[in-house]
Amino acid sequence: MRFTLTVALTGLFATPALAAKGPFFSLTNTDFVVLLGLLVFIGILFYFKVPGLLGGMLDKRADDIRAELEEARRLREEAQTLLASYERKQKEVQEQADRIVSSAKEEANAAAEKAKLDLEKSVTRRMAAAAEQIGSAEASAIKEVRDQAASIAIAAARDVIAKQMTAAQGGQLIDDAIAQVETKLH
C-alpha cells in the first residue's frame, strides 16, 4: 500500500508529468494513462495475492534449506560418532597389543629359567607378530574411518553445494571440505 502511494505521488510531482500538456487527470495525457496502467497492474498483483504467493515460496525455500542444513548436521554428528567409535576400537587394539606384549614378557621370564637362547628366539617372534598385528589393525581402522568420514562428508557437501553453488564455487568448497576432513583425521 505504501509502495502504491509512493508511486502515485512520484508520478504526480515528477517533472515529466508536469511537462505534459493539458490537464493531468485526462485520458489524453500519456503520463496519467501510464500511471493508471501501473496502478491497475499493482492492483491485479494484489488481487491474485502474488506477494503472498512469493512470500510462501520464499518460506518454503527457507524451510527446505533449513532441512538440508539439519540433515548435514546430522550426517556430521554421525561421522563424528563413527570416528569416536573407531578411535575406541583403536585404543582397544592398542590395549590388546599391550596385553600381548605383557604376556610375552611374562612367558619370557618363565622360560628364562629353562633356556636363555630359546627365550630370545621366542620373544623376538612374538614381538614381531604383535607389532605386525598392531600395525595391521591400526592401518585397517584408520583406513576405514577415513573412507567412511570422506564418503559421508562428500555426500552431504555434494547435496548442499549442488543446490546452491556454481560449478566453480562448488569445486572450491569440496576441496576445502576434503582438506578439513584430512586435517581432522590426522
106: confidence class by pLDDT, cuts 50, 70, 90: confident
- Give the pLDDT band of residue 128 (cuts 50, 70, 90): confident
Q: How much is the pLDDT for 9?
A: 62
Q: What is the pTM of this model?
A: 0.32
Q: How confident is the model at residue 186 (pLDDT cuts 50, 70, 90)?
A: low
User: Is 149 in contact with 185 (CB distance < 8 Å)?
Assistant: yes
Check residue 6 and give its pLDDT. 64
b/e map of 123-146 (b: 16 or more CB within 10 Å)?
Answer: beebeeebeeebeebeeebeeebb
- For the cut 90, the answer to whether the pLDDT of residue 66 exceeds it is yes
3-state secondary structure of 24: coil
Place of cell 493539458: 22
Among 3-7, 55-59, 165-169, 181-185, name the one with the lowest average pLDDT.
3-7
* pLDDT of 161: 62
Residue at grid coordinates 563424528: 80
Residue 107 clears pLDDT 80, i.e. is over it: yes
**Are the CB atoms for 75 and 152 separated by under 8 Å?**
yes
pLDDT band at 86 (very low <50, low <70, confident <90, very high): very high
97: nearest Cα among 145, 135, 144, 140: 135
Mean predicted confidence (pLDDT) in 114-140: 84
- Tell me the C-alpha distance between 84 and 93, whole Å: 14
